[in-house]
Structure formats: structure tokens, C-alpha cells
Amino acid sequence: MTTRILTGITTTGTPHLGNYAGAIRPAIVASRTPAADSFYFLADYHSLIKCEDPLRIQRSRLEIAATWLACGLDADRATFYRQSDIPEIPELCWLLTCVTAKGLLNRAHAYKASVDRNVEAGEDADAGVTMGLYSYPVLMAADILMFNAHKVPVGRDQIQHVEMARDIAQRFNHLFGQGREFFTLPEAVVEDDVATLPGLDGRKMSKSYDNTIPLFGSAKELKAAIARIVTDSKIPGEPKDPDSSHLFTLYQAFSTPEQLAAFRADLLAGLAWGEAKERLFLLLDAELGEARDRYHALIARPADLEDILQAGAAKARRIATPFLGELREAVGLRNFGAQASVAAPTKKKGARSARFVSFREADGTFRFRFLAADGEELLLSRPLADPKAVGMLTQRVTAAGVDALDLREDEGDRFSLWLDGACVADSPSFADAQALDAAMIRLRNAVASLATD
Ligand code: TRP
């Protein structure tokens, strides 16, 4: 089983060294493990909540996309996309909004913090609070649930949001699932062993403290930033205490154990701070130099970046589009023309259900057709030796249920059903990909209805 890992990066600002060590580097490492199916995206709809400057939004999206690719994210392996290229996400956000209790959102930390600040300042409690800020957790739930992520790597401040996504998923499953778990319940993962870097002044490196080291500035800018790192005033030759020096902590985040041991010994032996800064510069330059070149090459060709992200969006939508189709069906937003194929809420006497029909071929083999309630043929099985084999197979499909259905697309115009690594039945051919997706949804609904009928 692969684990689906999903995380979003809000596109405000330019990534700095702290983002790199704390989020980008570990995420890229994780995306390379064979069992991981990674979804990384630019949360650009979320960025609109905090920023009303179009140029900054655009610039930040570009810089963040280039940063992740330059740092080694493999966009063929991982699914890398912009949230705003997936129209299914805001649509799902609305479906979720309609089942989310207002009281749940009243408890969100980010919203509560704004209210507290207002109250303290003697303002109206909701002054400056937009619906975007208020509904932020629902949009985030849509990001996560759209792709049924198992694990969501986030910072501590985001754990509550992932828990809200779980709540909302459970509520939706309960209301509309009819025994089917539409949404996987996601889990927040907080990496405890990733480096939280100190900034130039020793406080946590953060844009809001203006103490950051730029990730892809020129070598000269990197040097200048390092020169601003605050140290104590011990003179060259005087022993320095590595453990109380954040310059040492920064070094530690990028060095091998051997390099670190040597650095520690030299500081204790009185290495001058100027020298120590030069060593940190060389270390960072070696770690980031190549990625920096790749970054500037990418930024210089925004049209290529656009192509990469469009390909990522297409990949993501191959999952999102049919899944949203199922969710629309589930809540009752159904095609009038296909009405009969949708299980009626109260079944009339004599109404037919989805069913298996077995028959004998002229050559003596046996097969079944799987028909929707309206009689549409959804699947035709491969030939089987005898009626007993047919019965066993149809029973297994029924028992396994819709969540275990292994459907695969064949040559673009049909799909097939697989069981234990073997193809057992095929769909008819369809005119185009949309008709194919729609038929897969009808099949899923029909299989789901077997469990309830
Ligand atoms: N809110 C997250 C942050 O500020 C970004 C984000 C948006 C996100 N959607 C997400 C993270 C979905 C994980 C999953 O860091």
C-alpha cells in the first residue's frame, strides 16, 4: 500500500533558509521513498486571504514553484500543482461548507486570535475578519479530502486545521456515504526532528522578525546575511561555547557529523567568529550553489514553469474530476437524463436494482453481465469455465464492495475490473474520456447499491 502524503505551501513571500530546512528539504526527501505518493501544491487561494497585492501573489507563486523544483522535487513522481488550477477544490469546498458547523470554525485558532486582538484593542470583534479567514479551515479540508490524503505534514500551528478536516470528512461520510467512506480521515504529521532554524538574531527564523537568510540570493547576499548573525563579543583565541551559539545551530542543520565535530572543537579552541562565519558560508554555498543556479534558470523561463504546473494540474484532475462527480451524485446534484441509474431514495415495489446476469456462450464458456438499475450494461466478464465460477466471482465483487473496486482504464475508451492482479471483466467502449468517467461513476454507484439493496 502506498501512503498518500499531501501538503500545501501558502504563496506569500519568498522562501528562506528556515523554510528550506524545516519544510522543503524534508518534504522532498519524503517524496523519494518508494511507498510515498506525494501531492505538493501551491496554496494560492489561501494566499489571497492574507494578501491583496496581485504582483506579490504572482511573484511568490513563481518563486515558490521554482524553489521546489530547483531543490530537487521530481514533478514526474510527485503530483505538483497550483490549488487555483483545480476548480474541483473550491467546488468541494462548498459541499463541505454546507456540512460544517459554524461552531467548529468559531474555535479555529487563527480566527480566534484575530477576534482577541480586536477585543483587546476595543474594536468590533469581527473587525477586519473576512469570510476567507473565517472559512480558511474548510478550504484546507477540501485540499486534503479532494485527494484522500492519509498523511499531512504540517507545522504545529496547522494541526488543528487537519483535525477539522477529519471532523468534516466524518460528517460528510456519515451523511452521504450510505455505508461508503467517501473520504479518508487524514492525519497530521509534525516532524519533530527537522531543524527549526534560528534567524540572524537567534529568534526563530521568520519573515515577521526580519531575521532571515535568503535561500537563493547571490553568494554575495548570502555572505552579507551571514555577516549579520549576532554572536557574543569573545575575541579571536578566546574559547567559544558552541551550545549557546546560534551560528553553531545553523551550521549543524547542514553539516555532516564529522564537519560538526571539527567545528565544535575549533570553536572551543578559540576560532574567531569571522572565521566561523566564513565556514558557515562555505557550507551553505556548497549545499545551495547548484540549486541556486537551477532556480535562476527556472525563474528566467516562466513559460516552462507554467507547462510543468499545467501538467501537474492535469494529473491531479484525473483524480479530482471523477471523484467530485461521485460526490455531486452523493449529495443529489445528479444528471436528469441519467436519473434511472441512480438508486431511488425509497424503492418502489417492483423497481429493479443493479444486478448480475449470467449466461452461457455458444462455445460452452460462461459469463456475466453487470447491469445498472436501468438495464445499462456496465461490465461484461471474461469467459469462465462453469456457472459456479461465475457465482463465486459475482459474490466476491459484491462482498468486496465499492471501496475495494480495482478499475483500470484501457486504451482510453474503456475500463476493466481487476481482482487479485487479473482482469475479470470489461466495460463497453465509450466515445470520449468524459463518457468513460461518467460510466465509471455509474458503475461505482451500482456496486455501492448492491450493499444497501
Ligand atoms: N494552511 C497551510 C499553512 O499555512 C497551507 C495549506 C493550505 C495546507 N492547504 C493545505 C497544508 C492542505 C496542508 C494541507 O501552512
pLDDT in tens, 358-390: 889 999 999 999 998 878 889 999 999 998 999
Give yes or no: residues 155 and 268 share one domain: no
User: 12: domain CATH number?
Assistant: 3.40.50.620
The answer on 286 and 416 residing in a single domain is no
Mean pLDDT of the 408-431 span: 89
β-sheet bridge partners, residue 406 = 418
* Average pLDDT, integer, range 138-148: 98
pLDDT in tens, 13-51: 889 999 999 999 999 999 999 999 999 999 999 999 989
User: Poorest-confidence range of 172-181, 336-345, 439-448?
Assistant: 336-345
Give a yes or no: residue 317 inside a domain. Answer: no
**CB of residue 83 inside a 6 A radius of ligand 1:** no
Under the banding of pLDDT at 50, 70 and 90, the label for residue 411 is: confident
Instruction: State the greatest distance between any 2 C-alpha atoms of the chain, in Å, as a whole number.
Output: 97
Q: What nine digits make up the cell of 8?
A: 500545501
Distance 15 CA to ligand 1 centre (A): 15
Same domain, 109 and 8: yes
User: Is the Cβ–Cβ distance between 12 and 50 less than 8 Å?
Assistant: yes
Residue 52 Cα distances to 134, 214, 295, angstroms? 17, 23, 26
Model pTM score: 0.75
Counting DSSP H helices and E strands in the chain, the numbers are 16, 11
Q: Do 368 and 424 share a structural domain?
A: yes
Q: What percentage of the chain exceeds 70 in pLDDT?
A: 96
Residue with cell 446476469: 357
CATH number of the CATH domain containing 355: 2.30.29.80
Is the model's pLDDT at 347 over the cut of 80?
no
Question: In this structure, which residue's CA is closest to atom 13 in ligand 1?
Answer: 7
Residue 345 predicted with pLDDT over 60: no
pLDDT of residue 375: 83
Tracing cell 454507484 back to the chain, one arrives at: 445
Instruction: Based on the fold, state whether residues 170 and 217 are members of the same structural domain.
Output: no
Tell me how far the alpha carbon of residue 187 lies from the centroid of ligand 1, in angstroms: 13
Q: How sure is the predictor about 343, in pLDDT bands with cuts at 50, 70 and 90?
A: low
CA of 7 to the centre of ligand 1 (A): 6
Q: Is the residue at 437 inside a domain? A: yes
CA–CA gap between residue 314 and residue 86 (Å, rounded): 9
Asked if residue 416 and residue 347 are part of one domain, the reply reads yes
pLDDT the model gives residue 307: 98
* Length of the chain measured in residues: 453
Same domain, 144 and 234: no
Strands (E), 44-114: 79-82
The verdict on residue 327 lying in a domain is no
Cα of 154 from ligand 1 centre, angstroms: 7
pLDDT of residue 179: 83
Q: DSSP secondary-structure letter at 360? A: E
158 ligand 1 Cβ < 6 A: yes
- Phi, psi for residue 72 in degrees, rounded to 5: 110, 10
Residue 198 lies in a domain: no
Ligand 1 atom at shortest distance from the alpha carbon of 153: 13
Question: By alpha-carbon position, which residue is closest to atom 14 of ligand 1?
Answer: 7
- Min mean pLDDT across 11-20, 54-63, 379-388, 394-403 is at 394-403
Which of 143, 157, 162, 191 has most ligand 1 atoms within 8 Å of CB, for mutation? 143
Whether residue 346 is predicted with pLDDT greater than 70 in this model: the reply is no
Of 173 and 337, which is predicted with more confidence? 173
Contact in structure between 386 and 358 (CB atoms under 8 Å): no
What pLDDT does residue 164 have?
97
Q: Establish whether residue 140 lines the binding site of ligand 1, counting it when its CB lies within 6 angstroms of any ligand atom.
A: yes
Q: Indicate if ligand 1 lies below 6 Å from the C-beta of 152.
A: yes
116 and 45 in one domain?
yes
Asked whether 27 lines ligand 1 (CB < 6 A), one says: no
Asked if the structure places residue 394 within a domain, the reply is: yes
Model confidence at 349, pLDDT cuts 50, 70, 90, reads low
When divided into structural domains, the chain yields a total of: 3
Question: Does residue 215 contact residue 15 with C-beta atoms inside 8 Å?
Answer: yes
Q: Which residue, 299, 326, 351, sits at the end of a domain?
A: 299
154 lines ligand 1 (CB under 6 A): yes
Structural domain of 248: 207-299
Q: Which set of grid coordinates corresponds to residue 405?
A: 473496486
For the segment 119-138, the average pLDDT, to the nearest whole number, is 96
Q: Is residue 328 part of a domain?
A: no
pLDDT reported for residue 404: 82
Angle 174-165-186 (CA atoms, 0-180°, nearest 5)? 90
| Cα–Cα distance list, 215 to 7, 111, 327 (Å) | 20, 31, 41
**Arithmetic mean of pLDDT over the chain:** 92
**DSSP-derived 3-state class of residue 411:** coil
- Residue 435 confidence (pLDDT): 79
**What are the angstrom distances between the C-alpha of 303 and each of 15, 39, 310?**
21, 22, 10
Q: Is 10 in the pocket of ligand 1 (CB under 6 A)?
A: yes
48 lies in a domain? Answer: yes
**The pLDDT of residue 342 is above 60:** no
The residue that leads in pLDDT, 412 or 399, is 399
Asked if residue 363 is part of any domain, the answer here is yes
Question: Do 79 and 11 belong together in one domain?
Answer: yes
Looking at the structure, do residues 350 and 390 belong to the same domain, yes or no? yes
- Report the share of the chain in percent with pLDDT over 90: 77
Mutation pick for ligand 1 pocket among 161, 163, 168 (CB with most ligand atoms within 8 Å): 161
Given the C-alpha cell 572551543, which residue does it identify? Answer: 268
Amino acid 87: pLDDT: 98
Pocket test for ligand 1, best of 50, 60, 140, 150 (most atoms within 8 A of CB): 140
Q: Residue 417's beta-bridge partner residues?
A: 407, 425
Q: How far apart, in whole angstroms, are the C-alpha atoms of residue 124 and residue 15? A: 35
- Per the model's pLDDT, the better-predicted residue between 411 and 253 turns out to be 253
CATH of the domain at 237: 1.10.240.10
For ligand 1, the distance from its centroid to the CA atom of residue 256, given in whole angstroms, is: 31
DSSP string for 117-154: HHHHTTS-TTTT--HHHHHHHHHHHHHHHHTT-SEEE-
Regarding whether 217 and 180 lie in a shared domain, the answer is: no
Which residue has the least CA distance to atom 7 on ligand 1?
8
44 and 180 part of one domain: yes
Q: Mind listing the pLDDT tens digit for each residue in 207-244?
A: 889 999 999 999 999 999 999 999 999 999 999 999 99
Q: Say if ligand 1 is within 6 A of residue 143 CB.
A: yes
